[in-house]
């Protein structure tokens, strides 16, 4: 160690490795970038190197790093009141609840605040069970809903394995993953049998026993799976028909990421419960929420809400969220995402022409991923199997290393490369990041040549 106040990147990385755990990993495999500061679309490491953040960290820093409106609001609130216990009322909390009632669709009107997305999921299940008096929850196979016990049991993908058997009462249905769909991938047209599967699961499990169906409107961590038009409307109909609540997990897809406040708006769907986090504070202070419809909210007028968290509705976090929403409005974020999203889609189309390793590109606004394959005809994935960790193997790892050496950070899992930048990114910054991605894809092409 240098002994001076300012540590080098290597010293900070070593200090973190020795005394702290990293997520989802065997600790010896982690090679972390030591970040000292950040601004806009860039991270700055302890050696002063600037790195373009092409995935807004975990698709959450939607306003870019250190947004001045948000930083100022946090400072002002910290000077006045950092915290009161959630049985007390505070102005930022009340105003945030009102804002959320305004910007969320339909009759969603009342919020229970948590510390992040996983706890929002857990509380959404609890609320659905309490409000309906029913137990079972239908979740989909290619999904991620969080790491706490309830949320990870709902999660369909491999990160669930280590926590099995998890909490009882969770059943699983198919997803609208057209590229690898067991119902319709060989067909001209999708006939949405994946939605019918949800209907069948509810019938088999018993509509009188199923409290809710939970869906990510666009499955995020599992490859940004944009559903076919009509799918979410059909899921809504199925839920209504069986008197089952529809929970939309908008933790990743919300707050302008797709060019609307919330992804469900693209299909005019009104869920009964919505979970939110990530873009809610743009990563500045941890906060999540479960926003419920009037009908669900009124159930708790006379029935006890069996839920409480010491740091629920944290005053600093609520102030940060209010300022974040104000900045989204002032900067016309959803509208600019539509414009930048078409730049991204055009660039993706050109890359797909150039690179045989691209199997499919998927995007809606600035919510996007590329899926790499060994063979376009057979769709054989570039690397064999999804790993529960974020440790990439083979070509995918080489590709990520190359991008980082070129000063661009993004998220890579299995055979997906994610591009979900801050929504404030400039067109030039976006194009420069995509140029590095384009060069990195040569590595994948060479591997299958
Ligand atoms: C759709 C979705 N739900 C829930 C979560 C869990 O959120 P958190 O990591 O804040 O607990 C995530 C995290 O990536 C997510 O993508």
Whether the CB of 118 sits within 6 Å of ligand 1: yes
Report whether 223 contacts 144 (CB < 8 A). no
Cross-strand pairs, 375: 380
User: Distance, CA 187 to ligand 1 centroid (Å)?
Assistant: 33
User: Distance, CA 275 to ligand 1 centroid (Å)?
Assistant: 9
Q: Given the CA of residue 116, which atom of ligand 1 is nearest to it?
A: 10
User: Distance, CA 251 to ligand 1 centroid (Å)?
Assistant: 6
Nearest to 157 by CA among 375, 333, 387, 419: 387
Task: Please enumerate in sequence order all residues whose Cβ is within 8 A of that of 99, keeping only pairs 6 or more positions apart, or say none.
Answer: 321, 322, 325
Whether the CB of 132 sits within 6 Å of ligand 1: no
CA angle 336, 142, 229 (to 5 degrees): 50
Whether the CB of 145 sits within 6 Å of ligand 1: yes
CA angle 23, 27, 29 (to 5 degrees): 105
For 64: left if phi > 0, alpha if psi spans -120 to 50, otherwise beta; the answer is left
Q: What is residue 145's predicted lDDT score, i.e. its pLDDT? A: 98
Whether the CB of 155 sits within 6 Å of ligand 1: no
Atom 8 (ligand 1) nearest CA:
117
Mutate to test the pocket of ligand 1, among 124, 251, 411 (most ligand atoms within 8 A of CB): 251
d(CA 154, CA 151): 5
User: Distance, CA 141 to ligand 1 centroid (Å)?
Assistant: 16
Could you tell me how far CA 229 lies from the centroid of its own chain? 21
User: Distance, CA 203 to ligand 1 centroid (Å)?
Assistant: 29
Whether the CB of 249 sits within 6 Å of ligand 1: yes
CA dihedral 64, 66, 70, 72 (to 10 degrees): -160
d(CA 109, CA 216): 20
Reported as half-sphere exposure (CB side, CA atoms, 13 A), residue 357 has a value of: 23
The SS3 of residue 362 is: strand
Q: What is residue 1's predicted lDDT score, i.e. its pLDDT? A: 47
User: Distance, CA 392 to ligand 1 centroid (Å)?
Assistant: 20
d(CA 280, CA 117): 10
Q: Given the CA of residue 216, which atom of ligand 1 is nearest to it?
A: 1
Q: Which pair of structure tokens corresponds to residue 190?
A: 């999708």
For the full predicted model, state whether its pTM sits above 0.75: yes
d(CA 263, CA 266): 6
Nearest to 358 by CA among 447, 225, 257, 227: 447
User: Distance, CA 411 to ligand 1 centroid (Å)?
Assistant: 15
Q: What is residue 2's predicted lDDT score, i.e. its pLDDT? A: 46
Question: Residue 106 class from Cβ within 10 Å (0-12 exposed, 13-18 middle, 19+ buried)?
Answer: middle
Nearest to 319 by CA among 80, 45, 16, 54: 80
Whether the CB of 344 sits within 6 Å of ligand 1: no
Q: What is residue 190's predicted lDDT score, i.e. its pLDDT? A: 85
Quick one: three-class SS letters along 253-312? CCCCCCCCCCHHHHHCCCCCEEEECHHHCCCCCCCEEEEEEHHHHHHHHHCCCCCCCCCC
The SS3 of residue 65 is: strand
User: Distance, CA 333 to ligand 1 centroid (Å)?
Assistant: 22
Atom 3 (ligand 1) nearest CA:
145
The SS3 of residue 172 is: strand
Q: How do residues 131-151 score in pLDDT, each as one tens digit?
A: 999 999 999 999 999 999 999
Whether the CB of 117 sits within 6 Å of ligand 1: yes
Whether the CB of 220 sits within 6 Å of ligand 1: yes
Atom 13 (ligand 1) nearest CA:
146
Exposure b/e, 42-74, CB count within 10 A at least 16 = b: bbebbeeeebbbbbbbebbbbbbbebebbeebb
User: Distance, CA 117 to ligand 1 centroid (Å)?
Assistant: 4
Q: Say how many Å lie between the first and final Cα of the chain, rounded.
A: 46
Atom 7 (ligand 1) nearest CA:
117
Whether the CB of 279 sits within 6 Å of ligand 1: no
User: Distance, CA 160 to ligand 1 centroid (Å)?
Assistant: 13
User: Distance, CA 1 to ligand 1 centroid (Å)?
Assistant: 36
pLDDT tens for the chain, residues 1 to 449: 444 578 999 999 999 999 999 999 899 989 999 999 999 999 999 999 999 999 999 999 999 999 999 999 999 999 999 999 999 999 999 999 999 999 999 999 999 999 999 999 999 999 999 999 999 999 999 999 999 999 999 999 999 999 999 999 999 999 999 999 888 877 778 889 999 999 999 999 999 999 999 999 999 999 999 999 999 999 999 999 999 999 999 999 999 999 999 999 999 999 999 999 999 999 999 999 999 999 999 999 999 999 999 999 999 999 999 999 999 999 999 999 999 999 999 999 999 999 999 999 999 999 999 999 999 999 999 998 776 666 778 899 999 999 999 999 999 999 999 999 999 999 999 999 999 999 999 999 999 99
d(CA 359, CA 97): 42
Q: What is residue 61's predicted lDDT score, i.e. its pLDDT? A: 98
Whether the CB of 140 sits within 6 Å of ligand 1: no
Q: Which domains does the chain possess?
A: 9-63+332-448 (3.90.1150.10), 69-330 (3.40.640.10)
Whether the CB of 251 sits within 6 Å of ligand 1: yes
Whether the CB of 121 sits within 6 Å of ligand 1: yes
Q: What is residue 390's predicted lDDT score, i.e. its pLDDT? A: 67
Report whether 122 contacts 146 (CB < 8 A). yes
């Amino acid at each position: 160690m240098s002994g001076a106040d300012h540590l080098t990147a290597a010293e900070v990385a070593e200090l973190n490795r020795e005394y702290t755990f990293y997520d989802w990993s065997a600790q010896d495999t982690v090679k972390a970038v030591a970040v000292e500061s950040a601004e806009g679309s860039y991270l700055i490491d302890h050696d002063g190197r600037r790195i373009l953040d092409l995935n807004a960290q975990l698709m959450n820093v939607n306003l870019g790093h250190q947004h001045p409106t948000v930083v100022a609001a946090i400072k002002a609130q910290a000077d006045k009141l950092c915290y009161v216990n959630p049985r007390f009322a505070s102005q930022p909390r009340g105003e945030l609840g009102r804002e959320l009632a305004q910007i969320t669709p339909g009759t969603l009107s009342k919020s229970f605040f948590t510390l992040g997305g996983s706890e929002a999921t857990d509380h959404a299940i609890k609320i659905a069970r309490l409000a309906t008096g029913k137990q079972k929850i239908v979740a989909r196979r290619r999904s991620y809903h969080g790491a706490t016990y309830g949320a990870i049991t709902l999660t369909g993908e491999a990160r669930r394995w280590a926590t099995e058997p998890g909490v009882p009462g969770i059943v699983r249905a198919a997803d609208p993953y057209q590229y690898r769909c067991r119902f319709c991938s060989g067909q001209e047209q999708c006939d949405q049998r994946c939605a019918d599967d949800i209907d069948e699961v509810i019938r088999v499990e018993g509509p009188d026993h199923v409290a809710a169906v939970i869906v990510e409107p666009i499955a995020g961590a599992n490859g940004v799976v944009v559903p076919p038009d009509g799918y979410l409307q059909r899921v809504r109909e199925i839920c209504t028909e069986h008197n089952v609540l529809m929970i939309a997990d908008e933790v990743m897809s919300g707050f302008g990421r797709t060019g609307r406040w919330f992804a469900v708006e693209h299909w005019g769907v009104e869920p009964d419960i919505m979970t939110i986090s990530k873009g809610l504070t743009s990563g500045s202070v941890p906060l999540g929420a479960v926003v419920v419809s009037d009908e669900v909210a009124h159930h708790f007028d006379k029935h006890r809400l069996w839920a409480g968290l010491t740091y629920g509705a944290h005053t600093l976090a609520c102030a940060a969220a209010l300022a974040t929403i104000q900045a989204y409005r002032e900067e016309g974020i959803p509208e600019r995402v539509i414009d930048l999203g078409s730049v991204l889609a055009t660039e993706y189309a050109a890359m797909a022409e150039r690179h045989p390793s691209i199997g499919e590109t998927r995007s809606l606004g600035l919510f996007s991923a590329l899926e790499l394959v060994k063979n376009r005809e057979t769709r054989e994935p570039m690397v064999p199997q999804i790993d529960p960790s974020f440790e990439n193997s083979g070509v995918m790892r080489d590709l990520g290393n190359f991008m980082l050496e070129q000063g661009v950070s993004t998220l890579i899992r299995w055979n997906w490369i994610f591009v979900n930048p801050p929504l404030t990114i400039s067109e030039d910054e976006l194009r420069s990041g995509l140029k590095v991605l384009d060069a990195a894809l040569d590595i994948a092409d060479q591997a299958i040549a």
